[in-house]
């Protein structure tokens, strides 16, 4: 009768822990808070792609806040409340831009918003 051989159990390859690069990049655009967190947490802040999306998200948030403050000041000036529909169109454009950026980030692409992307790339070290 043949002798039984000892078999060592096979261990599966290690799975990466945490979010994928694409998921992290997309989540960075859901307010600036995840972007700041991803810039501070070690596995995510080592990726230039994730850093780019985080910085672009932060700069896009700054632009949105400036536009909002400007709009809130203008509507209090007499007769300028008439331009309110224009700002509705601007906010719709912001939403469409945000949607395009998130979808591209999920697909692994780096959609670059003009002007803002240059600052983001510089901060990300790209």
> pLDDT tens, 23-74?
999 999 998 899 999 999 888 888 889 999 999 999 999 999 999 999 888 8
- DSSP code for 1: -
pTM, full prediction:
0.78
Domain around 92: 21-124
| Domain count along the chain | 1
Q: What is the pLDDT of residue 18?
A: 73
Residue 48 lies in a domain: yes
Q: What is the pLDDT of residue 40?
A: 93
Cβ atoms within 10 A of the Cβ of 125, count?
9
Residue 15 lies in a domain: no
Residue 116 lies in a domain: yes
Residue 60 lies in a domain: yes
Residue 7 lies in a domain: no
Question: Residue 105: what are its φ and ψ, rounded to 5°?
Answer: -65, -40
Residue 62 lies in a domain: yes
Residue 1 lies in a domain: no
Residue 34 lies in a domain: yes
Q: How far apart are the first and last CA of the chain?
A: 66
């Amino acid at each position: 009768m043949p002798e039984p051989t000892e078999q060592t159990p096979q261990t599966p390859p290690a799975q990466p822990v945490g979010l994928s690069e694409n998921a992290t990049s997309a989540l960075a655009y859901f307010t600036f808070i995840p972007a700041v967190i991803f810039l501070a947490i070690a596995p995510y802040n080592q990726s230039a792609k994730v850093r780019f999306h985080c910085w672009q998200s932060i700069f896009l948030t700054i632009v949105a806040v400036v536009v909002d403050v400007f709009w809130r000041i203008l509507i209090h000036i007499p007769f300028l409340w008439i331009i309110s529909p224009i700002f509705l169109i601007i906010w719709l454009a912001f939403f469409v831009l945000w949607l395009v950026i998130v979808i591209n980030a999920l697909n692994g692409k780096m959609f670059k918003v003009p002007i803002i992307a240059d600052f983001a790339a510089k901060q990300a070290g790209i």
